[in-house]
A and B are shown apart, each in its own frame.
Chain A
Amino acid sequence: GAVVSQHPSRVICKSGTSVKIECRSLDFQATTMFWYRQFPKQSLMLMATSNEGSKATYEQGVEKDKFLINHASLTLSTLTVTSAHPEDSSFYICSARGRTGANYGYTFGSGTRLTVV
């Protein structure tokens, strides 16, 4: 089945630094990737949608200059949290969607827990 690998699973960083999170589709080509964030005891909130080779589309209220998304290939998307602050501490989850057939669904990564100190 379709597998999405997300790395790292946990990261602690100092306030003011940047953190990069990787999302890879291991056995299929992902035409579209999605980034979500989730605060404790809350649901997933869609941050942005990215298509390979084009700029990401951000949801309302999400700062594109703070959350940089790069979708350089059909198997890799990255989310960089720039100048992180404690309020950016959250669970970040990516999702990838393939082209056709069994990979046409949405497969989620295992998430990255970011703690900014």
Chain B
Amino acid sequence: DAKTTQPPSMDCAEGRAANLPCNHSTISGNEYVYWYRQIHSQGPQYIIHGLKNNETNEMASLIITEDRKSSTLILPHATLRDTAVYYCIVRILNTDKLIFGTGTRLQVFP
């Protein structure tokens, strides 16, 4: 199963871009990368997902390296409400399972 490695915590100033890295060096060719975030005592919130190409939506951008061994989630203009734990997840091939790793605790400060 592909596993992900993320830094345990990061800080970001309000209004600046938050770049959250994720390593998934054992990812297989057809495995998607998902990003979710969890604000304290709530269910995880979907952010974005991708396979090979970079993706962008109203919340964030996802940059996947050409070899697919790592990716970066970019929040272009972080706000205090973006303070949360961010999870990078590789969906297990041929299953529907999302297995959460330890995530990155992002603290956005004024």
Measured CB to CB, the residues of A under 8 A from B are 4, 6, 32, 34, 36, 43-46, 49, 91, 93, 95, 97, 105-111, 113
A-B contact count (CB 8 A): 48
Count residues of B near A (Cβ-Cβ below 8 Å).
Answer: 19
Using an 8 Å CB-CB cutoff, how does the interface string of B18-38 with A read, 1 for contact, 0 for none? 000000000000000010101
Residues of B in contact with A (beta carbons under 8 Å apart): 34, 36, 38, 41-46, 49, 87, 96-103
Chain B residue at smallest Cβ distance from A108:
B43
Main SS at interface, chain A: strand
What is the CA–CA distance of A103 and B30 in the complex, to the nearest angstrom? 20
Secondary structure call for the B interface: loop
- Kindly name the residue among A36, A44, A91 whose own CB sees the greatest number of chain B CB atoms within 10 A: A44
From A32, A46, A49, A93, contact of B44 by CB (8 A):
A93
- Whether B97 and A34, one on each chain, are in contact in the complex, defined by CB atoms closer than 8 angstroms, is yes
Distance in angstroms from A96 CB to nearest chain B CB is: 11
Further pairs besides A34-B98, A43-B103, A91-B41: 4, Cβ < 8 Å: A34-B97, A43-B102, A44-B44, A46-B98
* Cα–Cα, bound, A113→B43 (Å): 11
Contact of B100 among A4, A44, A49 (CB under 8 A): A44
